[in-house]
Amino acid sequence: MSTTNHTVLCGTCKCAVETVSDPQAHDKVTCPRCGASDRFDNVMATVKEHVVYLAEKTLSESLTKAARGSRFLKVKTKHIPNRSFRWMIEGGL
C-alpha cells in the first residue's frame, strides 16, 4: 500500500509535517509545531505500523458491533489497546 498520497501527521500534535517533494530515505521530516524530526524512511516505517494498527482496530470494532445483539453470531475479537505513534497517517485508511 502506498502512503505517498496521504498526509503524514506528527503523532504528538497531529499537525501535518513538512518534507521535501519527492523525499528520499535520508531526507528529514520535521513537525512545524513541536520540531520533532526524523528520517523519511523511519517516518514511513512508523506510518505503516499506524496503518496496520488502524486496520486491526477498525476490523475488531466492526466485528464487535456486528456480533452485539446477535444470539447466533459469536465473535471473539482480540482487544486492540490504544497506542500512540510518533508519526501518523491523516484520516486513517
Residues that bind Zn ion (CB under 5 A): 10, 12-13, 31, 33-34, 36
Cβ closer to Zn ion: 55 or 85? 85
d(CA 64, CA 12) in angstroms, rounded, equals: 29
Cβ closer to Zn ion: 36 or 44? 36
- For 56, the enclosing helix (H) or strand (E) is helix 40-67
- Give 6's DSSP letter: S
Cβ closer to Zn ion: 11 or 51? 11
Burial of 10 (0-12, 13-18, 19+ CB in 10 A): buried
> CB of 12: closest distance to Zn ion in angstroms?
4
Q: Which three cell numbers stand for residue 63?
A: 466485528
> CB of 63: closest distance to Zn ion in angstroms?
33
> CB of 20: closest distance to Zn ion in angstroms?
18
